[in-house]
C-alpha cells in the first residue's frame, strides 16, 4: 500500500528494544521482570515536580485497570498503550493497514506505528489534563521562583507525564521480549495485588479505611462499634465495613476464572509422518483470554475523561449531556455511560443522595449491555489480530507437521474444522467475562478494585504460572526447546 512506502523511513527508525538473538535463561528472564517491576513501583511514587495542591485523578475509578499512580510520573499509566492498541485493532479488523504479520518488514512497520500512536495518545490525554480544567494544578509560586510563570510550570508537568508515558511503553517492551509475560499484564497484576492486600491487612491507623481483618478484630473487641443486626448492623457487616459480600465475591471470581481456564474443547491431532505421535489442540472457554476487557474499560474511561474535559470547558454544560457533582456524573448522557463500580452505584436505597431508581436501572442495563457486546466484539478482534483465528490456527497446525485425524492435510479443510469451534467459543467467552466483570462490580471486591481488574489479575497470574512452568520445562529438557523453536 502507498502509505507503507511513505511511512517506512519514519516507522523503521523509531527506537525499539532489540529481541534476544539467542535463548534467554529462565533465571535471567525473572531478573528482567523483577527489575522492571521494581522500577514501576519506584516511578509510581515519584511525585510530579511543580504540582500545586492535590491532583484530581481523572481515571480514579479505572485506575486499577490503567495502572500508574495519580500525581506521579506515571500519571497516564498504560492508558495510551491500550488506546493505541484499540485503534490498531479497529484498523486491522477492517483490513485498512494492509500489513502481513508473517513478513518481518511489516512486523517492524506495525511496531513502529504502534509506538507513534502511543506518543499521539500521550499528547491527546496529557495535554488536557495539564492545560484544561486544572486537573493537575501548577504551583504558581514555583513559576515565579524559576521565572517561567504558571504556563511554564504547566509545560514542565506535561514533560514529566510525557517522559513517564514513554518509559512505561519501553518497560512493557522489555518485559515482552526479555522477561516473562507482558509488561501491561505485569503492571495490572502489581497494582491490583497491592490494593487487594491493602484491603485485607491495612491497620486501623489514621484516616485510612482499615482492612477487612483489622475491622473484624475491631468489631470483635468492641473498638469498632457495631449497631444491632436489624438496625443497620447486618448492612454494615455485609456491604459496609465488614465487607463480607466483597470477600465472598473476590473468592468466587478467583474460583470461576481458574475453572473457566481449565474448561476447553480439545481437537485431536496426529503427526503426518511420525506414526504414534499424537497431540491435542485446546480451545479454551475463555479463548481470547480476559485481556480484551482492558479495551472495553479503557474505551469507557476515555468517554468519562471526555465528559470531565467538556464539563470543565463548557460553562454551563447542557443538562442532557451531563450534570456533575465532585467530578462525578450524576445525570445526563455521561451518567448513563458511566459503568457501575460499587454496590452503592446501583443500590439506590443505600445511597446517601436521592437517586431515581429508574435511572439507576437504565444505567445498570447499559453497563451490562456495553460489557457483554463489547467483550464479544473485542474478543473477536483480539483473536483475529493475534493469529488465533481459524485460518491462522490451521496454518500453524499445517506448518508443525500435524493434521486432524480423518481429514485431509490441507489448511482449507482444517480451517473449516476450526470454524466449528473458535468463533462461537470466542463470542461466548467474551460475553461471559463481561457478565462476570459487571456482577463483581455490583457486589464489590476487596480493596475496592473493580471486577474487571480482579478478572484480569487472576487470568494474567494463571497464564504467568503456565508460562513459567513451560519455561522451566524447556530449561530441564533443551531438546524440547529446539523442537518448539
Check whether 236 has a pLDDT greater than 80. Answer: no
The whole-number pLDDT of residue 352 equals: 53
The whole-number pLDDT of residue 375 equals: 87
What is d(CA 433, CA 397) in angstroms, rounded to the nearest whole number? Answer: 28
Q: Are residues 59 and 162 in the same domain?
A: yes
**Within a domain: residue 78?**
yes
The whole-number pLDDT of residue 366 equals: 92
We report the CATH number of the domain holding residue 389 as: 1.10.3370.10
Mean pLDDT over 97-105 rounds to 71
The whole-number pLDDT of residue 206 equals: 58
Q: Are residues 275 and 415 in the same domain?
A: yes
Highest mean pLDDT (candidates 24-33, 266-275, 316-325, 406-415): 24-33
Q: Whole-number mean pLDDT of the chain?
A: 81
Mean pLDDT over 213-222 rounds to 81
Check whether 58 has a pLDDT greater than 60. Answer: yes
- Alpha carbon distances (Å) from 229 to 26, 150, 238, 400, 424: 54, 55, 11, 64, 47
Q: Give the percent of the chain with pLDDT over 90.
A: 10
**Within a domain: residue 355?**
no
CB 158 within 8 A of CB 35: no
What is d(CA 338, CA 439) in angstroms, rounded to the nearest whole number? Answer: 15
What is d(CA 64, CA 66) in angstroms, rounded to the nearest whole number? Answer: 6
Lowest mean pLDDT segment, chosen from 256-270, 329-343, 468-482: 468-482
- pLDDT band, residue 120 (cuts 50/70/90): very high
Check whether 398 has a pLDDT greater than 80. Answer: no
Q: Are residues 119 and 252 in the same domain?
A: no
Three cell numbers, residue 112: 513502529
What is d(CA 217, CA 148) in angstroms, rounded to the nearest whole number? Answer: 53
Three cell numbers, residue 61: 475509578
Number of domains comprising the chain: 2
Mean pLDDT over 200-211 rounds to 73
Task: From 147, 179, 211, give the residue that closes a domain.
Answer: 179
CB 98 within 8 A of CB 4: yes
The whole-number pLDDT of residue 388 equals: 78
The whole-number pLDDT of residue 42 equals: 93
Q: Are residues 165 and 223 in the same domain?
A: no
Q: Are residues 255 and 174 in the same domain?
A: no
Instruction: Read off the DSSP letter of residue 72.
Output: B
Check whether 150 has a pLDDT greater than 80. Answer: yes
The whole-number pLDDT of residue 155 equals: 92
317 vs 32 pLDDT, higher one: 32
Highest mean pLDDT (candidates 38-52, 82-96, 374-388): 38-52
Task: From 179, 200, 234, give the residue that closes a domain.
Answer: 179
The whole-number pLDDT of residue 305 equals: 84
Highest mean pLDDT (candidates 98-112, 216-230, 318-332): 318-332
Mean pLDDT over 327-332 rounds to 83
Phi-psi region of 210 (alpha: psi -120 to 50; beta: other; left: phi over 0): beta
The whole-number pLDDT of residue 207 equals: 61
Lowest mean pLDDT segment, chosen from 58-72, 141-155, 275-289, 365-379: 275-289
**Within a domain: residue 440?**
yes
Highest mean pLDDT (candidates 17-21, 167-171, 215-219): 167-171
Check whether 101 has a pLDDT greater than 90. Answer: no
The whole-number pLDDT of residue 34 equals: 92
Q: Are residues 126 and 247 in the same domain?
A: no
Check whether 1 has a pLDDT greater than 60. Answer: no
Q: Give the percent of the chain with pLDDT over 70.
A: 88
The whole-number pLDDT of residue 112 equals: 85
**Within a domain: residue 264?**
yes
**Within a domain: residue 129?**
yes
Highest mean pLDDT (candidates 60-64, 245-249, 263-267, 404-408): 245-249
Lowest mean pLDDT segment, chosen from 108-112, 228-232, 338-342: 228-232
The whole-number pLDDT of residue 259 equals: 84
The whole-number pLDDT of residue 479 equals: 58
Check whether 129 has a pLDDT greater than 80. Answer: yes
Mention every residue, 6+ apart, whose C-beta is less than 8 A from residue 216. Answer: 242
**Within a domain: residue 118?**
yes
Task: From 129, 161, 179, give the residue that closes a domain.
Answer: 179
Q: Are residues 175 and 226 in the same domain?
A: no
Q: Are residues 170 and 229 in the same domain?
A: no
Mention every residue, 6+ apart, whose C-beta is less than 8 A from residue 336. Answer: 359, 362, 363, 366
Q: Are residues 32 and 126 in the same domain?
A: yes
Instruction: Read off the DSSP letter of residue 273.
Output: S
**Within a domain: residue 161?**
yes
The whole-number pLDDT of residue 211 equals: 80
Q: Are residues 243 and 371 in the same domain?
A: yes
Lowest mean pLDDT segment, chosen from 20-29, 54-63, 189-198, 419-428: 54-63
Rg value, the chain, Cα? 25
Helix axes 26-44, 451-476, angle to 10 degrees: 150
Q: Are residues 174 and 241 in the same domain?
A: no
- pLDDT band, residue 167 (cuts 50/70/90): very high
Which pTM was predicted?
0.80
- pLDDT band, residue 90 (cuts 50/70/90): confident
Helix axes 79-93, 292-313, angle to 10 degrees: 110
Three cell numbers, residue 472: 522451566
Mean pLDDT over 328-334 rounds to 86
- Domain range for 38 is 2-9+28-179
The whole-number pLDDT of residue 161 equals: 93
**Within a domain: residue 67?**
yes
44 vs 441 pLDDT, higher one: 44
Q: Are residues 273 and 128 in the same domain?
A: no
Mention every residue, 6+ apart, whose C-beta is less than 8 A from residue 191. Answer: 63, 64, 67, 68, 453
Amino acid at each position: 500500500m502507498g502509505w507503507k512506502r511513505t511511512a517506512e523511513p519514519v516507522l523503521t527508525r523509531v527506537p525499539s528494544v532489540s529481541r534476544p538473538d539467542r535463548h534467554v535463561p529462565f533465571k535471567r528472564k525473572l531478573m528482567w521482570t523483577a527489575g522492571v517491576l521494581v522500577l514501576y513501583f519506584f516511578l509510581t511514587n515519584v511525585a510530579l515536580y511543580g504540582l500545586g495542591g492535590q491532583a484530581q485523578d481523572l481515571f480514579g475509578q479505572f485506575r486499577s485497570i490503567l495502572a500508574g499512580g495519580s500525581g506521579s510520573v506515571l500519571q497516564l499509566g498504560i492508558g495510551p498503550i491500550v488506546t493505541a492498541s484499540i485503534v490498531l485493532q479497529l484498523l486491522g479488523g477492517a483490513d485498512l493497514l494492509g500489513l502481513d504479520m508473517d513478513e518481518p518488514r511489516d512486523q517492524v512497520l506495525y511496531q513502529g506505528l504502534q509506538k507513534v500512536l502511543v506518543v499521539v495518545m500521550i499528547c491527546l490525554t496529557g495535554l488536557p489534563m495539564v492545560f484544561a480544567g486544572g486537573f493537575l494544578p501548577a504551583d504558581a509560586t514555583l513559576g515565579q521562583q524559576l521565572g517561567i510563570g504558571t504556563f511554564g510550570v504547566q509545560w514542565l508537568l506535561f514533560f514529566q507525564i510525557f517522559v513517564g508515558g514513554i518509559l512505561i511503553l519501553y518497560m512493557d517492551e522489555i518485559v515482552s521480549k526479555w522477561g516473562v509475560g507482558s509488561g501491561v499484564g505485569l503492571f495490572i497484576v502489581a497494582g491490583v495485588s497491592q490494593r487487594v492486600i491493602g484491603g485485607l491487612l491495612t491497620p486501623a491507623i489514621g484516616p485510612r479505611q482499615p482492612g477487612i481483618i483489622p475491622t473484624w478484630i475491631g468489631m470483635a473487641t468492641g473498638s469498632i462499634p457495631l449497631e444491632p443486626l436489624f438496625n443497620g448492623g447486618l448492612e454494615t457487616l455485609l456491604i459496609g465495613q465488614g465487607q463480607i459480600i466483597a470477600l465472598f465475591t473476590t473468592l468466587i471470581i478467583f474460583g470461576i476464572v481458574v475453572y473457566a481456564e481449565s474448561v476447553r474443547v480439545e481437537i485431536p491431532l496426529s503427526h503426518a509422518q511420525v506414526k504414534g505421535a499424537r497431540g491435542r489442540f485446546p480451545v479454551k472457554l475463555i479463548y481470547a483470554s480476559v485481556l480484551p476487557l482492558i479495551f472495553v474499560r479503557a474505551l469507557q474511561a476515555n468517554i468519562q475523561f471526555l465528559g470531565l474535559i467538556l464539563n470543565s470547558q463548557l460553562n454551563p454544560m447542557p443538562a442532557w449531556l451531563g450534570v456533575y457533582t465532585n467530578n462525578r456524573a450524576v445525570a445526563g448522557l455521561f451518567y448513563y455511560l458511566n459503568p457501575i463500580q460499587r454496590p452503592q452505584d446501583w443500590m439506590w436505597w443505600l445511597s446517601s443522595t436521592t437517586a431515581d431508581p429508574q435511572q439507576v436501572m437504565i444505567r445498570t442495563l447499559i453497563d451490562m449491555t456495553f460489557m457483554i457486546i463489547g467483550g464479544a466484539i473485542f474478543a473477536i478482534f483480539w483473536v483475529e489480530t493475534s493469529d488465533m483465528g481459524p485460518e491462522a490456527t490451521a496454518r500453524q497446525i499445517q506448518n508443525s507437521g500435524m493434521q486432524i485425524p480423518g481429514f485431509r492435510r490441507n489448511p482449507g479443510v482444517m480451517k473449516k474444522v476450526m470454524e466449528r469451534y473458535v468463533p462461537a467459543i470466542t463470542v461466548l467467552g467474551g460475553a461471559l467475562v463481561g457478565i462476570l466483570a459487571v456482577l463483581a462490580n455490583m457486589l464489590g471486591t476487596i480493596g475496592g478494585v473493580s471486577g474487571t481488574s480482579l478478572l484480569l489479575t487472576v487470568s494474567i497470574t494463571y497464564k504467568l504460572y503456565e508460562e513459567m512452568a513451560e519455561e522451566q520445562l524447556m530449561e530441564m529438557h533443551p531438546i524440547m526447546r529446539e523442537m518448539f523453536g
